[in-house]
Chain A
Amino acid sequence: MKKLLLLGDEAFAQGALDSGISGAFGYPGTPSTEIVEYVQSNQEAIERDVKRAWSANEKTSMEEALGMSFAGKRAIVTMKHVGLNVAADPFMNSAMVGANGGLIVAVADDPSMHSSQNEQDSRVYGKFAMVPIMEPANQQEAYEMPFKAFEISEKYEIPVLFRITTRLAHSRSGVTRRKKLPEKKGSMPEYMYQFMLLPAIARKKYKKLLELQKDLEKESENSPFNKYTDGEDKSLGIITCGLGYNYLMENFKDLKKTHPVLKIGQYPLPRKQVEKITSECEEILVIEEGMPVVEEMLKGYLEKKPKIKGRLDGTLPRDGELNPSLVRKALGLASPQGYEMPELVAKRPPALCVGCPHRDSFQALNEAMEKYGKGHVFSDIGCYTLGFQPPFNAINSCVDMGASVSMAVGAATAGFFPSIAVIGDSTFGHSGMTGLLDAVDKKANVVIMILDNDTTAMTGMQDSVVTGRIESICEGIGVKKDHIRVINPLSRHHDENVKVIKEEIAYDGVSVIIPRRPCIQVYAKRKRDKEI
């Protein structure tokens, strides 16, 4: 069969489709977004009617996937690493209740923070929840892993965490497909208390989860994704996790002698192989993308023999993404010299597009806020976060999705005035609505600006679940109708817009202002789609 040229994300999605999923759930987030997008545009998925619509946030999507698993069908749920914080409650408890239909939680980490607030490592969550983890080294493994993950998930009734990182998620290579599995018909859980975490049942379920760990370790020891290759020079043994293997192999041919290598793609760690390499080698180098998770496990608190090298002792950098050159240095090999970058090269940071509606919103807000000075605007995550940069310098915080509204409420209760929140429409649907309910309940003196550009622009223009519903949501939550104001962020309406913002700042209570105009990229895309 001809190879398919797929991104790591797409390879996982194709593998999930071929292993018989009935649903792909998720909330967009770089670098995970292409998984659900692939399912959404895949002809077979459309014909099979695999469920594939975006959810309001990661927590709801995780729970929807768990519901599909309850109903006896296979499901995946996808998110970026920080999304797993939002879904942490159902994720942790899904390990307790387990799965009926196979369940894979696919999380994409972003070391080096190419487009994220932090570089947390999802393997820590996997270990915390005590679920098996799979971490591919290449696109073909990303394709194969769902088959194995569903097998384990259904055999042991446990969700499996699939962890991928930016480089592989966004890199293409040829993938060979294998025989497809049919979807499951659907069936009730065998025991009706499987999904009941009342304390008396939860205690039993927790013991079961603890006992399961031995079996999961055995699975890892026999996994096709964990591979031990012996080597002649045992002064050093090398353990790689996920795509760390690629950076090792890129340089392996230049080593004078071969070393024993343990390639890991499935956790919990395969105890037998780890014991072999650590007992036979004098030193161990751990090459893992993200945080030093395996390195810390091996090192322990009281350092013993053999010596463990990696990110903690400075052999590799403590933070940031790995690359072949860093690993080359860690192996003690000299790097070829490239050319130097001339000093005159300037940074080219991203900026709001010319014609972006957010530009006009910030201009109006800045003018309305002139008499109060800077420092009053809590904001959130999306294209509009770029309003922090010159020439706008319009916002003062960006913490986690939804935080703008709740932080503004908290500050207002401290007597802070004016207390303004600026949040995007998709982010409002994700987790701004609950904060607004607090604002109404606490009668907070806040102005919440919901920038409605008709899309989730930042992550590549996905549908937003609140489109067409924002005013009715705000009204339903209890914001007074007179203080839900829609404005048109265009320069020709600038003066009226400033006036509206000033009026709502002056009002002592909860105000919502909705600057509404489509993102120009969405506008252009819709026009293109229409032409073709």
Chain B
Amino acid sequence: MKKDIILAGVGGQGILSIATIIGYAVIESGYNLKQSEVHGMSQRGGDVQSHLRISDNEIYSDLIPLGNADMILAVEPMEALRFLPYLAPAGWLITNTKTFENIPDYPEKDKIITEIEQLKNKVALDADGIAKELGTTKVMNMVMLGAASEFLELEYSKLEEGIKSVFGRKGEKIVETNLKAMAAGKKIAQEKK
């Protein structure tokens, strides 16, 4: 078992919750984990990335080498493209299609989608739209986690426990919505992969 995952998005889009929940499931499964975060300036609407490495062997580097990632999990489509040099030839790109446009020279959305469509292994979905149907775009990140769960080789129930542990103190209802969001994402990935 070895999975190298790049998480990508924009500051404030909930990448760190995704990392924490996967981290929880990994530790509960008895695998080794390294997860590096980016802090500081990136909290103010800049791009953010996190490197997640899972293995049943010892993991040395905290950073994933270029061309080695088994998956890029992006909550924003332009950010998905930014990290392509990390993706292994047989790796998967799992991305949200809803753009987050906070810069004046943001490229045309169609061109971004065309670039994504050219990849062999990809799952692209409008996670914000799906989250909205569940009542709040706040759970967009959990829709994306659900889509990724199809490729993670982790027990789904362990991810569910992770959601409970992260959102538990916010109350039953919030946990419920996040679980539903993850399930919705998973279903779409099953259809699209």
B23, B43, B78, B119 — which one has the most chain A CB atoms within 10 A of its CB? Answer: B43
Contact B87 A346 (CB under 8 A): no
Contacts of A201 in B (CB 8 A): none
Given A325-B66, A338-B88, A341-B82, CB of A346 within 8 Å of CB of B107:
yes
Contact A167 B84 (CB under 8 A): no
Could you tell me the dominant secondary structure of chain B's interface residues?
mixed
In this assembly, does B134 line the interface, its C-beta being within 8 Å of a C-beta of chain A? no
**Residues 30-87 (chain B) with a chain A CB within 8 angstroms:** 32-47, 51, 59-69, 78-79, 81-87
Q: How far is the CA of A170 from the CA of B119 in the complex (A)?
A: 31
In this assembly, does A376 line the interface, its C-beta being within 8 Å of a C-beta of chain B? no
Given A171-B34, A250-B60, CB of A339 within 8 Å of CB of B84:
yes
A337 to B, closest residue via Cβ: B67
Contact A348 B46 (CB under 8 A): yes
Q: How far is the CA of A411 from the CA of B145 in the complex (A)?
A: 55
Picked from A5, A173, A250, the residue with its CB within 8 Å of the CB of B65 is A250
Q: How far is the CA of A460 from the CA of B16 in the complex (A)?
A: 15
Contact B45 A339 (CB under 8 A): no
**Residues 338-353 (chain A) with a chain B CB within 8 angstroms:** 338-342, 344-353
Q: How far is the CA of A30 from the CA of B64 in the complex (A)?
A: 22
Contact B85 A115 (CB under 8 A): no
**Residues 352-382 (chain A) with a chain B CB within 8 angstroms:** 352-353
Picked from B41, B63, B85, B112, the residue with its CB within 8 Å of the CB of A344 is B112
Contact B41 A114 (CB under 8 A): yes
Identify the stretch in B98-106, B124-132, B146-154 within 8 Å (CB) of chain A at 4 or more residues: B98-106
How many chain B residues touch A (CB < 8 A): the figure is: 55
Contact A30 B44 (CB under 8 A): no
Contact A173 B34 (CB under 8 A): yes
Contact B27 A5 (CB under 8 A): yes
Q: How far is the CA of A172 from the CA of B19 in the complex (A)?
A: 10
Q: How far is the CA of A341 from the CA of B78 in the complex (A)?
A: 10
Contact B66 A351 (CB under 8 A): no
Picked from A172, A338, A348, A532, the residue with its CB within 8 Å of the CB of B103 is A348
Shortest distance in angstroms between B141's beta carbon and chain A's nearest beta carbon? Answer: 17
Contact A115 B40 (CB under 8 A): yes
B65 to A, closest residue via Cβ: A324
Contacts of A338 in B (CB 8 A): 66-69, 84-89
In this assembly, does A386 line the interface, its C-beta being within 8 Å of a C-beta of chain B? yes
Shortest distance in angstroms between A243's beta carbon and chain B's nearest beta carbon? Answer: 7
Residues of A bordering B, CB below 8 Å:
3, 5, 7, 30-31, 114-115, 167-168, 170-174, 243, 245-247, 249-250, 323-325, 328, 335-342, 344-353, 383, 386, 458-460, 532
Of the A-B pairs whose beta carbons lie under 8 Å apart in the complex, a sample of 16, sorted by A's number, is A30-B39, A170-B36, A174-B27, A246-B62, A247-B60, A325-B66, A336-B66, A336-B67, A338-B84, A341-B83, A342-B115, A346-B106, A348-B45, A348-B102, A460-B43, A532-B169
